[in-house]
Structure formats: structure tokens, C-alpha cells
Structure 1
């Protein structure tokens, strides 16, 4: 499956999953918290697939990584869908139990996460041919580079602070670290290749 059909299918699955978890406990706080945790995982996995698509295609070329790079845009939009659903269930928790909501978060976290959502919205809005052309290639690359790393930082902070108190977050922490390693290794490899190419052009 490829393209917008992939995004549509994933969006339907994400919606159904969220409704299932929320309804599994009669739409109470526990069901909402299950939905929050589930969408946190799906968001991270989809972000990892989109954020590492080009890097993995360079480092480990295969049918799978070529498919991943070919569908990077659609995986990215699917991540946005997952994370906005995640936001929706967080707001549902705040409506159900404001006191619990503020025990689980603080203003600093809200500001950090809110900025990440602004980047997600901007990156999603420029994931279409017309808006990408309007923004221009240079600005598009800059937005998606800065936005991608900022979202990575927000995941690293959100997951990292919970690792010491909940083993649920250990696999997520490992994935967050792996994302950065893949991107940095690919970046280092491209820089070495560029330097070697420049050296070959220098007259003897």
C-alpha cells in the first residue's frame, strides 16, 4: 500500500484503536489513559518511520527502506493524525479530571509540546505539492529539518522523564535513541562522501 491510501488506512485504524481503548473501560479515566498511552506509541513509531526514511534508504538499501522513503510524506501525515488524536484524548482527560491532568503535566511541558504541535501543523500543511511549491525548496527543507529535530527533542524529553518511574517507556526510549543515531550516522556518511568528492576535484 502506498500514497494517500496508506494515510487513509492508517488514520482509520488509529481512530478505531483509540475508540476501542477509550470504550473498553466505559469511557472513564482509565480508558482515556489507555488511549493516551496507545497513541503515544503509534505517534512515535510513525514519526520514526518518517524521520529516518531517507537515512535508512541510504544506509540499508532494500525494498523495505525504499518503500519507506517513497512513502515518507504519507507516513509523516499519518504521524500528524496520530499525534492530534493523542492531543484529543489528553484534552479529554483534562475535561474528565483536571486535578489528575495537572499532576501528570506542567506549564513547561505544555509549552514544549505546544511548540511541537505548531511544527507538526506547519509540516503537515506543507506536505502537499502546492503548499510545498509555495514555500519553496530551501524553506521547505529548513522547516522540515528544524521541525523534525524539535519533535524528536520533545519525544526525548517526554519519554526520558518517565523512564525512571515506568518500565512502559523503556522500549520507547530505545526507539527515540535509535532514531537520532540513524539520522546522525547518515549525516556523517554524507559529509564524508561530500568531502571525498571535493578532494577529488582539487587539481593535483
Structure 2
């Protein structure tokens, strides 16, 4: 049970972000907009910890990094829970604002959610056995695709002064996680 706490953390963090957004917003659209932004922001570090878990364990072997690596399945499930809460907040924000999105703008995020849900549904030893090599393909492609969507979403905010601090936060964390993965990959190749 103790190893499953990242799942609970992701759910509580997502729900807490919704609560804070709804409490601090001025009007329904602003409140749900904040909830959607804050659930995404709180989900990013949980995702990046999952994304870099094995690389952290290879580069800096120690009790903490081994524990994160060993429990990365639960960190991934925690992210999936948090981001499911984010999806709810995002839908409510779009409803409250009356904003209409084109199908083209929804496809990249929709694919990311499909991959998040598929990875969550197949995060078991039984699924690994049934899917064989396809399990690794799904999870490798899925985690890199979600990383790309996060990075692109934050990078798209770099040009606007109002959203630049948030964009720098997101892009910097995403690039740091990628750099850690590349460093671990290079270390493994040299060995």
C-alpha cells in the first residue's frame, strides 16, 4: 500500500488545484480557467518525475532515486489521475467560457489523453505479459508523446509577456527531464 501513495498524491493534487481555482476565480469562467491551468501545472512535475524516473536511478543511484524508479508505475498512475482531473476542469472551463475549439486543435491533446489512458490501463505485470514487446512500444511512444505535448504547450506561451513566466517554468522543467534521460542513455551506452 505504501508504494501506491503517488497515485493518491496525484488525485489529491488535482482535486486541490480545482478547489483553489474555484475559490480564487472571479466568475465561473475565470474559476474553471484557473482550475484547468493549475491542474496542468501541478500535473507537470508528477509527469516529469515519471518520465525521468529510470534515468534518475541510473545517473544518481541512491535510496531515493531507486525508490522513485521502483515505483514509477505508481507515479505514472498518479499523473494519470491528476490529468484526468485536469481534463474535467478543462471541459468545465470551455463550457463556462463558451470558447469553441476546432477539431484540429483538439486532436494532439486528444491523442495524448488516449495514450495516457492506454498506459494507465496497461500498467500491470499482466498487461506487460499479454502485450509483450508492444507494451514497451506503447509506453515508450506514449511517454515521449505526452512529454512533447507538454513542451509544445508551454513553448507556445513564450511569446506572450503575460504567460512567459509560466512558459519558462514548463519548458525548463521539460528540457531538464529530457537532458537527464539523454545523460542516462549516454551513460548506459558507454558502459
Q: Same fold (TM over 0.5)?
A: yes
CA distance, structure 2, for counterparts of residue 55 and residue 66 of structure 1: 10
Whether 1:75 aligns to 2:83 is no
Give 1:151's aligned residue. Answer: 146
Give 1:29's aligned residue. Answer: 29
Deviation of the 1:27 alpha carbon? 6.2
CA distance, structure 2, for counterparts of residue 43 and residue 12 of structure 1: 11
Q: How many residues align?
A: 188
Give 1:188's aligned residue. Answer: 186
CA distance, structure 1, for counterparts of residue 157 and residue 38 of structure 2: 15
Deviation of the 1:26 alpha carbon? 6.6
**Any idea what the Cα deviations from partners look like across 1:129-173, whole Å, max 9, x if unmatched?**
32232222x221111111111111111111111122112221111
| Residue 174 to residue 135, structure 1, CA distance change in 2 (3 Å) | same
CA distance, structure 1, for counterparts of residue 9 and residue 169 of structure 2: 25
**Structure 1 length as normaliser, TM-score?**
0.84
CA distance, structure 2, for counterparts of residue 49 and residue 76 of structure 1: 9
Question: Larger relative contact order (C-alpha < 8 A, sep ≥ 6)?
Answer: 2
Deviation of the 1:64 alpha carbon? 1.9
Larger deviation, residues 33-42 vs 115-124: 33-42
Q: What are the ranges of 5 or more consecutive residues in structure 2 without an aligned counterpart? A: none
Q: What are the ranges of 5 or more consecutive residues in structure 1 without an aligned counterpart? A: 194-204
CA distance, structure 2, for counterparts of residue 38 and residue 86 of structure 1: 8
Residue aligned with 1:162, SS: coil
Give 1:63's aligned residue. Answer: 63
CA distance, structure 1, for counterparts of residue 10 and residue 111 of structure 2: 25
Deviation of the 1:16 alpha carbon? 3.1
CA distance, structure 2, for counterparts of residue 146 and residue 95 of structure 1: 31
Give 1:199's aligned residue. Answer: none
CA distance, structure 2, for counterparts of residue 52 and residue 83 of structure 1: 18
Give 1:117's aligned residue. Answer: 113
| Residue 188 to residue 109, structure 1, CA distance change in 2 (3 Å) | farther
**Structure 2 length as normaliser, TM-score?**
0.90
CA distance, structure 2, for counterparts of residue 59 and residue 38 of structure 1: 31
CA distance, structure 2, for counterparts of residue 179 and residue 155 of structure 1: 12
Deviation of the 1:127 alpha carbon? 0.7
Give 1:162's aligned residue. Answer: 157
